[in-house]
Amino acid sequence: TDIGDLGEADAGRSVLIRGAAQAMRPVSKKMAFLVMRQSMSTVQCVLVATAEAGVSTQMVRFATSLSKESIVDVEGVVSVPKEPLKATTQQVEIQVRKVYCINRAIPTLPINLEDAARSEAEFEKAEQAGEKLVRVLQDTRLNYRAIDLRTPANQAIFRIQCQVENKFREFLSSKQFIGIHSPKLIGGSSEGGAAVFKLQYNGQPACLAQSPQLYKQMSICGGFGRVFEVGPVFRAENSNTHRHLCEFIGLDAEMEIKEHYFEVCDIIDGLFVAIFKHLNENCQKELETINRQYPFEPLKYLEKTLKLTYAEGIQMLKDAGTEIDPMGDLNTESEKKLGRLVKEKYGTEFFILYRYPLAVRPFYTMPCYDDPSYSNSFDVFIRGEEIISGAQRVHTPELLRKRAIECGIDASTIASYIESFSYGAPPHGGFGVGLERVVMLFCALNNIRKTSLFPRDPQRLAP
Ligand code: ATP
Ligand code: AMO
């Protein structure tokens, strides 16, 4: 039986539950409580030593001597308590008949799960009351991730992540995109720049793909029309920030363009409005669970996503007193500030900023037809932080080679990519999303390590 499904309608039913023994509370020799947990759900099990229940005082003692987090089978009958229960998610109890320990956890775990699941407000309240509670630091959590992942908030975060990924596939599939898998072992950098993990490939220098960029474009040259990919992306950046990982999950898409690269923006608009709606409507339990440990305001977004030009964004920042180079890139601080300004003016925390200066975009980005110092490109922001980059791409080999050289890239390392555009290549564009960033920012979490199952940052390769 799933604990999360138990309700008053089950009163009188015999059930068998396997779960983790979260807490044991002896009351007397003859009575004890045992809280059992599965994922985000907990239920209180009551042991009373009576002949009619077939429960002995030894069984009560056995149950209270279980080590926390041991895996336990409980057989019992569902009952409805007189008073509402505060400490468990389910509002029914199990009158225990039998308890079996399936797998015993060590007596002292490196992380106390109750502490790991507390909100900052709980710690503060306890401190004011003079109670001593221990905060579980992020490094400790990540060192013992197999325990840390059991907190209700973490259970919810990775369910949300799975839903974002599913919706991404489902939405794009419904728009005639086909899923592809491009190689992750490749011969050179895909984004330009040095942030690649290098390795040996049968005696040949190789690297881990920084993105599916070149291959998703070559798939368009391969006649697929519209493609998407969900897969790992590797960046050897020494970025010790709250939003950079060395390995993350990229959600990528690429499509033929009929008339204008705004067709790509329209896909993003439909896709993300569908994702946000789906999460708000179908993942309420998960969102409430995250909210209990990490309180956040629901994301403000519009039914039709706001699009602003980069120049408009710069102007808003200037009007608000920020000194800024109109042809330079926005730094983290300016992005955040622009996020706040846009929220005040337009009432949305999700928007597209387009027409970036060409100089701050990768070599494969299409320059604007009317002014080649700008580009047919965009970034997308949630709560003032970037979640997506995208653009129309250069689809003629001559311009592509020229742009690569201007950006300091040795065109011979990407010769087969460039050649692909000389066999007949349709105009096209696409975008790349960081999955961990979407979940982090939708839930206003403060660190990307919270939304990566086993994060890889410049310092961490284990577990
Ligand atoms: P993209 O790769 O599309 O640019 P991104 O969000 O990873 O997306 P970066 O270009 O890597 O963005 O960085 C953008 C901003 O992030 C930089 O301007 C800088 O302010 C900040 N940043 C990047 N790396 C670091 C770092 N190691 N320490 C502090 N800030 C950083
Ligand atoms: P970009 O380099 O901007 O664009 O990456 C796309 C998106 O991936 C996420 N992201 C990251 N997430 C975690 N850790 C990192 N180190 C990191 N770097 C990037 C961000 C970012 O918006 N080929 C282009 C996409 C395209 O044009 O289709 C690209 O890779 O959410």
CA of 364 to the centre of ligand 1 (A): 19
Is the shortest distance between the CB of 389 and ligand 1 below 6 Å? yes
Is the shortest distance between the CB of 459 and ligand 1 below 6 Å? no
Can you tell me which atom of ligand 2 is nearest the CA of 248? Answer: 13
Q: What is the mean pLDDT of the chain?
A: 97
- Alpha carbon 300 to its chain centroid, in Å, reads 18
Residue 65 amino acid letter: S
pLDDT (tens digit, 9 = 90+) per residue, 398-433?
999 999 999 999 999 899 999 999 999 999 999 999
Closest CA to 340 of 318, 317, 359: 317
Is the shortest distance between the CB of 332 and ligand 1 below 6 Å? yes
CA of 241 to the centre of ligand 1 (A): 8
Is the shortest distance between the CB of 290 and ligand 2 below 6 Å? no
- Alpha-carbon span 213 to 210, nearest angstrom: 8
CA of 234 to the centre of ligand 2 (A): 10
CA of 449 to the centre of ligand 1 (A): 16
Q: Among 210, 228, 233, which residue has the most ligand 2 atoms within 8 Å of its CB, making it the best to mutate?
A: 233
CA of 232 to the centre of ligand 2 (A): 11
Residue 422: what pLDDT? 98
Residue 192: what pLDDT? 80
Alpha helices in 50-177 (DSSP H): 57-64, 113-116, 120-128, 138-143, 145-148, 152-174
Residue 266: what pLDDT? 98
Residue 194: what pLDDT? 78
Query: Model confidence at 83, in pLDDT bands (50, 70, 90)?
Result: very high
DSSP state letters, 68-80: TT-EEEEEEEEE-
The answer to whether 167 touches 275, Cβ cutoff 8 Å, is yes
- Alpha carbon 237 to its chain centroid, in Å, reads 20
Closest Cα to atom 30 of ligand 2:
211
Would you please indicate which residues are annotated as catalytic (active-site) residues? 235, 237, 243-244, 386, 389, 437
What is the number of the ligand closest to the CA of 243? 2
What is the number of the ligand closest to the CA of 253? 2
Is the shortest distance between the CB of 331 and ligand 1 below 6 Å? yes
ipTM confidence score: 0.91
Is the shortest distance between the CB of 22 and ligand 2 below 6 Å? no
What is the number of the ligand closest to the CA of 382? 2
Is the shortest distance between the CB of 333 and ligand 1 below 6 Å? no
Closest Cα to atom 22 of ligand 2:
388
The contacts found for 167-170 with CB under 8 angstroms, 24 or more apart, are 167/271, 167/274, 167/275, 167/278, 168/228, 168/230, 168/251, 168/271, 168/275, 168/433, 169/228, 169/230
Query: Model confidence at 344, in pLDDT bands (50, 70, 90)?
Result: very high
Query: Model confidence at 1, in pLDDT bands (50, 70, 90)?
Result: very high
Can you tell me which atom of ligand 2 is nearest the CA of 235? Answer: 16
Mean pLDDT of 109-113: 96
For the chain, percent of residues with pLDDT exceeding 90 = 97
What is the number of the ligand closest to the CA of 214? 2
CA of 244 to the centre of ligand 1 (A): 8
pLDDT (tens digit, 9 = 90+) per residue, 148-201?
999 999 999 999 999 999 999 999 999 999 999 999 999 988 898 779 999 999
Mean pLDDT of 15-42: 97
Bridge partners, 103 (sequence order): 71
CA of 174 to the centre of ligand 1 (A): 33
CA distances from 238 to 245, 419, 460 (A): 9, 33, 12
pLDDT (tens digit, 9 = 90+) per residue, 381-394?
999 999 999 999 99
pLDDT (tens digit, 9 = 90+) per residue, 71-82?
999 999 999 999
For the chain, percent of residues with pLDDT exceeding 70 = 100
Is the shortest distance between the CB of 328 and ligand 1 below 6 Å? no
Angle at 329 between CA 328 and CA 335, to 5 degrees: 135
pLDDT (tens digit, 9 = 90+) per residue, 247-296?
999 999 999 999 999 999 999 999 999 999 999 999 999 999 999 999 99
Residue 313 amino acid letter: G
Query: Model confidence at 319, in pLDDT bands (50, 70, 90)?
Result: very high
Residues 282-307 as b or e (16 or more Cβ within 10 Å = b): ebeebbebbbbbbeeeebebeeebbb
Which two tokens mark 261?
């690269």
Can you tell me which atom of ligand 2 is nearest the CA of 210? Answer: 30
Closest Cα to atom 2 of ligand 1:
389
Alpha helices in 257-306 (DSSP H): 262-282, 284-293
